[in-house]
Structure 1
């Protein structure tokens, strides 16, 4: 806006009415009205500039294009402000008098009048006629403010109706012949969120962004970018097909500029016609997600009056927002718990895939005969239960072929329906009894729903990654669906898990004793493995992990005896012998790590 132009001050009656709106609506209105006043200032300057006598025809054309774009934005902002201001209206009857213009139209006139007064005051010294007109301009402003406050009171009391806010302005060039556009190869998946007011579109998009690394975009932003790039004043006046092409072209540009992004979200889908066209252009790469919720639930979440939410719904429905449900790939009922919503969103954003895992018998894992036999009996018991059990696997050292009798635990992963829990518990009790005095059992039990909703700890994510890359399972149901775990996810999981491992390691170090050497050693190896994973180094086997970690910049070589020596000392009761080198290595590691993360 012109430098030092005064801000737009709305009259007190309207200000009090707006103050009673929910915070979200107040922010939307403030943004729209502030930008509207700015655009009016820019329009004033652009119209002055284009009148220059020395301008070339090209400069005049550019100036006219700028004016058209600003006018289009001005009309959009007035409509946007009216969407909020319309919620101030109380219940009305058809016979109530209809006002000639909307509340936002009056505010827009007030903005222009504010600018006219300011420009007139700046011209007083050189224009006698302007000096004479200035008192009349001030009276006009006072009368307009009084009339606006009176209109707000009548509208809120249901004594006066407001006209429909849509202006149906036409700006910009004639629509060119459609050119077929294809999704970029870098556009992998796009989720488009639709729904009525307060249904959870923004909340859902934020969750997908935060948990799945999606790039979150607004449809309005994409269309405005496209319009600016092509010199179009108002893309919303184009056909649905052309809008879809502009959207896809902008998505392609974002994908090309962000090659590491695998998932995009766009919101809010309020136009059923353009989203149909976009679906035709993108196919299954576009997944339309419609969020539904009971009206009473949406009102309660908004904190606004029912008529306010209903007014917003009316605006969205006039554009076809409610029709999107019939077109959607996924319709989610968001009247329930946030846990249910997020689980559905995770499956949609990162869909599970049918997995083909390598299945081996316990006798092929290098386990002692008695352990292999007990494990085989356990698997037979689970298999006898039928479809209730989906997956059973020994993770960690058995899968890596480094299990040591008398030292290693048996880490077990079982995926089974919740209804099969009693059966699984009984089988585990017999399994644990058979292993008594030989080794300890650490079971992790999950339901298929928890698995596909990616409710995973970092260790379980790593176990699934190993299974998907050739580590054997003991039992796998036909057609099992598993979430695909990527190395990038494991890198992030390592960053999140390492602090907890270090906290535990410090606690164990405080109470270091011969009987804790096993825990101390295992936590040292785990911390080193996670640290290496952060540096994109994937090592298996404790000895190889500790050797690789010793090459980290600035970390002293960890002089820890080989695993065979430590495990033998543990079994033979000579634990004092290996406690000292293990604690020295832990102290070195903790000292080094503290220095790395120091401010």
Structure 2
């Protein structure tokens, strides 16, 4: 409704009775009556517009469709209001006289009369007959308010009954009431970006598309597609509710056709009314993000004159772009660092979830007694630091139950708040001392913020995936939230990590000697593991990984002794018998890899 249109003022008797409703019902009734009055305002304007002598046939058809839609919405809101207002009635007087209409019907009449008075007063300056009618209209409103208050009083006291509120309007449909469109089950998450000119909407959507695999849409594109499908000449002339339904219909259609796409973004949210209706239809499936930045900052980013940015702002604000901030699920001050912005966007696009993890003790991981004891002491020490330490886990071979004394490292993951990391580092020093050389300790320290912002190395992403699929942890806070890592993400991470592993393998090969056996072997296994992930093969255990890699097209069998043989030779200091076959396998793999990537 026009922002200068009059508000709907309810008569005092009804207003007093409404205060007796429960908070939830009162808020619902306030919202519904406001929406009913807004729809009546739109309906008045559309009925005026359709009478224009210069309208084309297509425009008249659009107006007729909009009028039908608004009338359907009007009845839905009236029925919804009656659901709450009906609870005010005294149900114990079945013999009370029946009134001719419901309370919401009277409120609807009061809404229309309020609009009639407002429009008449605006026209009175140019039309004498209309000016003479204004006092009579005010008298009608006073009488209607008094009658409504009397009816409310009688209904509450049980002196009068109300009819069944259902209106059973069809509007060309078979259903008894307008069917409300709902999000498709394939439409799992939509992020809508709003804000004024040069605030960062497109840049943010592009980042979410690149990092999270989102499908990007402009609202204008979706509306034009829907208009073409529905035979509409101008979708922007429709009510906000109808525009929202068209938008959701297009999103549903695309989601149903692309079921593997779990995230969508829509840009250029400049109409607060239509996005509010879309939010009501979609609920939390739709996350509205408003990007805020000062005018000076936006002018600087634009590289144009301030007047040009101000002109764009004026157009957007006339549509309600600045009002979107009040509706937003997330308001982001986009005057800070790129890192801060992207961290917020990653949390919004792919929020972390509470994960049920399997907790074990160090004594159940197949570790030697001295290693298990030192690990238990470390876990107890950091657990005592309180909620600042969120998770402790041994990853890799201890988590897989294949740790080998004298060969395997202790890969330790600690998730802790930044303020607690200093104490964790002191506990790590005590841990190393307690190990007394029985194992090499490789700690990874990460904050919860880094995880929720998905600032992850490929190795860390794989560890989180393993934990979410049953690998044990030594300590986990009950409300710990972790980003969900899919196999598709791991496959992509493998593509990114493999080049670095190959470069390291070549460096180790150039420095090859018996002392590098352990590193050469582990990097060969890691390279094969990453390569298999890229081919959607998920093997674990070095022997199985090397066997599976040997079946890659064009890669001959990697004749490498078993892990048990190599680790035994390493511990015994007899590396010669294992070194040569490992070097040969490394050379074989690197040659094959170079051929695969040759231009």
Superposition TM-score, scaled by structure 2 size: 0.70
Q: State the secondary structure of the residue aligned to 1:202.
A: helix
Superposed displacement of residue 588, structure 1: 1.2
Q: State the secondary structure of the residue aligned to 1:438.
A: coil
Q: 2 CA distance for matches of 1:381 and 1:182? A: 51
* Residue number in structure 2 paired with 1:546: 546
Q: 1 CA distance for matches of 2:316 and 2:324? A: 11
- Is 1:373 aligned to residue 373 of structure 2? yes
Question: What do the CA deviations read for 1:141-160 (whole angstroms, capped 9, x no partner)?
Answer: xxxxxxxxxxxxxxxxxxxx
* Residue number in structure 2 paired with 1:92: none
- Is 1:588 aligned to residue 588 of structure 2? yes
Question: What do the CA deviations read for 1:432-461 (whole angstroms, capped 9, x no partner)?
Answer: 122242221111111110111111000000
* Residue number in structure 2 paired with 1:241: 241
- Is 1:196 aligned to residue 182 of structure 2? no
* Residue number in structure 2 paired with 1:312: 312
| 1:233 to 1:436, Cα distance in 2 relative to 1, 3 A | same
Q: State the secondary structure of the residue aligned to 1:506.
A: helix
| 1:545 to 1:585, Cα distance in 2 relative to 1, 3 A | same
* Residue number in structure 2 paired with 1:460: 460
Superposed displacement of residue 591, structure 1: 1.4
Q: State the secondary structure of the residue aligned to 2:386.
A: coil
* Residue number in structure 2 paired with 1:402: 402
Q: State the secondary structure of the residue aligned to 1:471.
A: coil
Superposed displacement of residue 567, structure 1: 0.5
Q: 2 CA distance for matches of 1:430 and 1:529? A: 34
* Residue number in structure 1 paired with 2:534: 534
1:109-120 counterparts in 2 under 5 A? none
Superposed displacement of residue 419, structure 1: 0.7
* Residue number in structure 1 paired with 2:562: 562
Q: State the secondary structure of the residue aligned to 1:387.
A: helix
Q: 2 CA distance for matches of 1:196 and 1:188? A: 27
Gaps in structure 2 of 5+ consecutive residues: 1-55, 63-170
* Residue number in structure 2 paired with 1:254: 254
* Residue number in structure 2 paired with 1:116: none
Gaps in structure 1 of 5+ consecutive residues: 1-62, 70-174
* Residue number in structure 1 paired with 2:505: 505
* Residue number in structure 2 paired with 1:576: 576
Q: State the secondary structure of the residue aligned to 2:598.
A: coil
* Residue number in structure 2 paired with 1:390: 390
Q: 1 CA distance for matches of 2:508 and 2:576? A: 16
* Residue number in structure 2 paired with 1:429: 429
1:29-428 counterparts in 2 under 5 A? 179-428=179-428
Question: What do the CA deviations read for 1:33-61 (whole angstroms, capped 9, x no partner)?
Answer: xxxxxxxxxxxxxxxxxxxxxxxxxxxxx
Question: What do the CA deviations read for 1:450-509 (whole angstroms, capped 9, x no partner)?
Answer: 111111000000000110111000110120010011111111111111111111111111
Q: State the secondary structure of the residue aligned to 1:360.
A: coil
Q: 2 CA distance for matches of 1:229 and 1:478? A: 50
Q: 2 CA distance for matches of 1:287 and 1:176? A: 33
Superposed displacement of residue 250, structure 1: 0.9
Q: 1 CA distance for matches of 2:433 and 2:294? A: 52
CA RMSD between the two structures = 1.9
* Residue number in structure 2 paired with 1:52: none
* Residue number in structure 1 paired with 2:139: none
Q: 1 CA distance for matches of 2:179 and 2:298? A: 41
Question: What do the CA deviations read for 1:136-189 (whole angstroms, capped 9, x no partner)?
Answer: xxxxxxxxxxxxxxxxxxxxxxxxxxxxxxxxxxxxxxx988652221221111
| 1:436 to 1:300, Cα distance in 2 relative to 1, 3 A | farther
* Residue number in structure 2 paired with 1:520: 520
Superposed displacement of residue 257, structure 1: 2.2
Q: State the secondary structure of the residue aligned to 1:291.
A: strand
Q: 1 CA distance for matches of 2:57 and 2:507? A: 72
Superposed displacement of residue 264, structure 1: 0.2
Superposed displacement of residue 64, structure 1: 7.7
- Is 1:473 aligned to residue 473 of structure 2? yes
Q: State the secondary structure of the residue aligned to 2:387.
A: coil
Q: 2 CA distance for matches of 1:299 and 1:305? A: 7
Q: State the secondary structure of the residue aligned to 2:267.
A: strand
Size of the aligned set, in residue pairs, is 432
Q: State the secondary structure of the residue aligned to 2:491.
A: helix
Q: 2 CA distance for matches of 1:531 and 1:358? A: 29
Superposed displacement of residue 400, structure 1: 0.5
| 1:64 to 1:593, Cα distance in 2 relative to 1, 3 A | farther
Question: What do the CA deviations read for 1:382-417 (whole angstroms, capped 9, x no partner)?
Answer: 011111100111110100011100001111111111
